[in-house]
Amino acid sequence: MSASGFQAPGKFKRLVWGFTGRCAVCGKFRLTAPWKIDGPRCDRCDFAIERKEGHFIGAVGMNTIVTFAAALAAVVVTVGVAGPNFSVPKVFAINTFFILLVSAICFPLSKTLWSAIDLNMIALEPGEVDPRYDGLHDTDDPTQ
């Protein structure tokens, strides 16, 4: 626990926070919005969601995987519901709308989840967040 009383979350809790759109450092809710694509910072702990240039390749990749899985599921369901005489333009239109909706909804969450995964792999550097939330450096070793 840091001097401010903040206790850094464990790796699993950090992933849950990322999956639910929370800040991976302090857990603040509604960290990102679809219109905040380029490098927002957490209002509470000043954590930059995009830690380094190119950071969001992983988030884009995760969003692409989810979107393709949703696209496959949507095609299977719509063709299955429509039966053998389905209308290709209607199935295409419905699936296009669904895929765009899924992608737009999942992208902010993929950003916060990717930040949590990245933070689990690469610890915070000193000065990266507000010192009150810098509990990730707390160790018993006074040299760190």
Residue with tokens 């450092």: 25
Cα dihedral 98, 104, 109, 111 in deg (nearest 10)? 130
Q: Assign residue 18 a region (left: φ > 0; alpha: ψ between -120 and 50; beta: otherwise).
A: alpha
Binding mask 10-49 for Zn ion (x = CB under 5 A): -------------x-xx-x-------------x-xx-x--
108 phi/psi in degrees, rounded to 5: -60, -35
| C-alpha separations of 12 from 8, 43, 119 in Å | 12, 23, 11
Q: Which C-beta is closer to Zn ion: that of 47 or that of 56?
A: 47
Closest separation between CB of residue 40 and Zn ion, Å? 11
Neighbour tally for 54: CB within 10 Å:
7
Q: Which C-beta is closer to Zn ion: that of 48 or that of 91?
A: 48
Closest separation between CB of residue 27 and Zn ion, Å? 7
Closest separation between CB of residue 79 and Zn ion, Å? 44
Q: Which C-beta is closer to Zn ion: that of 36 or that of 90?
A: 36
As a whole number of Å, the end-to-end CA separation of the chain is: 15
**Is 124 among the residues that bind Zn ion (CB under 5 A)?**
no
Q: Which C-beta is closer to Zn ion: that of 70 or that of 129?
A: 129
Q: Which C-beta is closer to Zn ion: that of 8 or that of 26?
A: 26
Q: Which residues bind Zn ion (CB under 5 A)?
A: 23, 25-26, 28, 42, 44-45, 47
